[in-house]
Amino acid sequence: MTTAAIIGGGVIGGGWAARFLLNGWNVRVFDPDPEADAKLAPVLAQARRALPSLTDVALPPEGVLTFHNDMAEAVSGVDWIQESVPERLEIKHAVLASVQAHCPPDSIIGSSTSGFKPSELQQGAARPGQIMVCHPFNPVYLMPLIEVVPSPQTDLALVEKAEGILRGLGHFPLRVRKEIDAHIADRFLEAVWREALWLVKDGVATTEEIDEAIRMGFGIRWAQMGLFDTYRTAGGEAGMRHFMAQFGPALKWPWTKLMDVPEFTDELVDLIAGQSDAQSGHMSISQMLAARDDNLVGMMRALKANNWGAGAVMNAHEAALREGTVLGAHADDLEDVSAPILTVRRAVPLDWTDYNGHMNEARYLQAFGDATDRFMALIGCDAEYIATGGSYFTAETHIRHVDEALAGATIEVLTQVLAGAGKKLHLFHEMFEGDRLLATGEHFLLHVSLETRRPSEPSPAIVAALDRIAAAHADLSTPEGAGRAVGQRP
Ligand SMILES: NC(=O)c1ccc[n+]([C@@H]2O[C@H](COP(=O)([O-])OP(=O)(O)OC[C@H]3O[C@@H](n4cnc5c(N)ncnc54)[C@H](O)[C@@H]3O)[C@@H](O)[C@H]2O)c1
């Protein structure tokens, strides 16, 4: 079992702890604050609510979380150390010295620092090669980006290892090729912040109007295409060159008239804090955090459906979660197919629920549809096969809603073949939470030629894989509820 040590368990350390823990790592937290575990609890609760929603495959079982006051105990034998102590260089130096006195020489030491360069962190270090910046974004348990910044002294093999581990946690490691104060992303945020201060101070806009200008417009655009691709598309078919020619003179503004920086006076702080209270004081911070997480999950899941940006990162994470399990296997890899086969194992995501927090009706069909897709892939009717012109089309569906499921529940679907021969495929899915039956779905499918749109024979390989499972399942008893018509009582 892999183990991470989280040094400093505040907002950011807590987010790291949750990300590691929910991805199956053991986590040791070192923080001198006697309230460290109480501080971590709400972050962990938020992460448990939101993170499992991201992918359509369940995360591995959680690792074990422990708290430590002794550095040797916290870092001995660990694979990863993440430093997330306050942003003061002398504290970071002291902590890194203590970490290196006790940790394995080949473990990764990542620093969450928002501002310092890795070479600054490495000053006076026993083994500078071990230290790199791994700069996360809040909430660490949901945001994919980690800016990975080595200095010329950092061991590049260790950096590559760190990037592999980060991908395994569902993160997107972005290697910063040249160390610089505040890395990449925070430099943008700094520029935007400076502009916002100026606009508020001069009474051009309120905090609320600035937020609307972002979230009703370029914020949504940036989340999916960033800056340059957004401008490229704005240039029409002629692309970036045309865009730059068209807006050329305007692009010079940043060097001329937009550079005012207001002084950070008490008056300005009062002005901004007052406007912020008026804007959002009617919500508690925990209500806002829950809304933030719901929105982030929903937006990232939309990107996931398009296999784009942050969504593509989630799909890669999901593929890794499937690998080596029945959820990623071909039927030929399975020695024993005599029992109903696991086709879905996932958490009920936040965006699958209605106003009661229950999984809504349409999502039962989605889960069963996913189970059918997975069964098709299992017998070889996967994306590659479908591209050759054959697929199964669902002709009939009957769902029974037996019990409720809440957001975050881990559901499993087991699939039994009632009949499978030639063009016909008759499946019976049972959805469980633990051993509680939630629903059943019975589906009749026909193999069709995507060219003629008429029923056709599947490939011999699919026929062979399906025959094997159908023969094995013929020995199972007919499941309760199979063949039922709507409204019939048992
Ligand atoms: N807050 C953000 O949005 C954000 C984002 C990215 C990176 N960061 C960076 O993450 C780091 C931590 O920031 P934060 O916002 O979590 O701060 P925080 O104040 O919430 O947490 C810091 C934690 O470190 C603990 N601590 C203090 N001295 C310690 C020591 N000697 N050993 C171990 N723990 C110690 C504190 O008790 C506290 O729990 C900073 O370097 C910051 O720049 C912050």
Q: Which atom of ligand 1 is nearest to the CA of 92?
A: 31
Q: Which atom of ligand 1 is nearest to the CA of 94?
A: 31
Residue nearest to atom 11 of ligand 1 (CA): 84
Predicted confidence band of residue 296 (pLDDT cuts 50, 70, 90):
very high
Atom nearest to 9 CA in ligand 1: 39
Q: How far is the CA of 231 from the centre of ligand 1 (A)?
A: 36
Predicted pLDDT at 257: 58
- What is the per-residue pLDDT across 241-272, written as a single tens digit (0 to 9) for each? 887 777 777 767 665 556 677 888 999 999 99
Distances (CA, A) of 111 to 22, 131, 442: 20, 8, 52
Query: Is 356 buried (19+), middle (13-18) or exposed (0-12) by CB count in 10 A?
Result: exposed
- CB of residue 203 inside a 6 A radius of ligand 1: no
Residue with CA nearest ligand 1 atom 29: 85
Ligand 1 and 7: CB distance under 6 A: yes
- 85 CB within 6 A, ligand 1: yes
Amino acid 487: pLDDT = 83
Which residue CA neighbors atom 27 of ligand 1 most closely? 85
| Residues 385-394: tens digit of each pLDDT | 999 999 999 9
The average pLDDT across 331-341 equals 96
287 in contact with ligand 1, CB cutoff 6 A: no
* CA 479 – ligand 1 centroid, Å: 55
Report whether residue 182 contacts ligand 1, using a CB cutoff of 6 Å. Answer: no
Helix axes 156-168, 310-322, angle to 10 degrees: 80
As a whole number, the mean pLDDT across the chain is: 94
Q: Is residue 84 in contact with ligand 1, taking CB distance under 6 Å?
A: yes
Say if ligand 1 is within 6 A of residue 112 CB: yes
Determine if ligand 1 sits within 6 Å of the CB of residue 52.
Answer: no
- In the predicted model, what is the mean pLDDT of residues 271-282? 95
Q: Which of 86, 176, 186 is nearest to 137 (CA)?
A: 186
105-132 pLDDT, tens per residue? 999 999 999 999 999 999 999 999 999 9
User: What number does the ligand 1 atom closest to the CA of 87 have?
Assistant: 41
Ligand 1 pocket check: which of 6, 7, 12 to mutate, most ligand atoms within 8 Å of Cβ?
12
Predicted confidence at residue 355, as pLDDT, reads 82
Ligand 1 neighbourhood includes 53 CB (under 6 angstroms): no
Which amino acid is it at 122?
Q
Question: Averaged over 369-384, what is the pLDDT?
Answer: 96
Ligand 1 proximity of 138 Cβ (cutoff 6 Å)? yes
pTM for the whole thing?
0.93
Q: What is the spatial distance between Cα 11 and Cα 14, in angstroms, rounded to a whole number?
A: 5
The pLDDT, as a whole number, for residue 490 is: 62
Average pLDDT rounded to a whole number, residues 296-306: 95
Phi then psi dihedrals of residue 447, to 5 deg: -80, 130
Least confident of 259-263, 311-315, 395-399: 259-263
Contacts of 24 (CB under 8 A, 6+ apart): 1, 2, 59, 60, 61, 62, 63
Protein residue with least CA distance to atom 25, ligand 1: 8
- pLDDT, tens only, 1-49: 799 999 999 999 999 999 999 999 999 999 999 999 999 999 999 999 9
Summarize the confidence of residues 354-376 as an average pLDDT.
94
Mutation pick for ligand 1 pocket among 28, 103, 112 (CB with most ligand atoms within 8 Å): 112
Q: Percent of the chain at pLDDT above 90?
A: 87
pLDDT tens figures, 433-465: 999 999 999 999 999 999 999 999 999 999 999
- Residue written as tokens 């000053």? 123
Any ligand 1 atom below 6 A from CB of 69:
no
Stretch 139-164: mean pLDDT: 98
> What is the Å distance from ligand 1's center to 91 Cα?
10
Strands 131-135 and 108-111: parallel
pLDDT given at position 174: 98
Which residue out of 85, 95, 116 has the highest number of ligand 1 atoms within 8 Å of its CB and is therefore the one to mutate?
A: 85
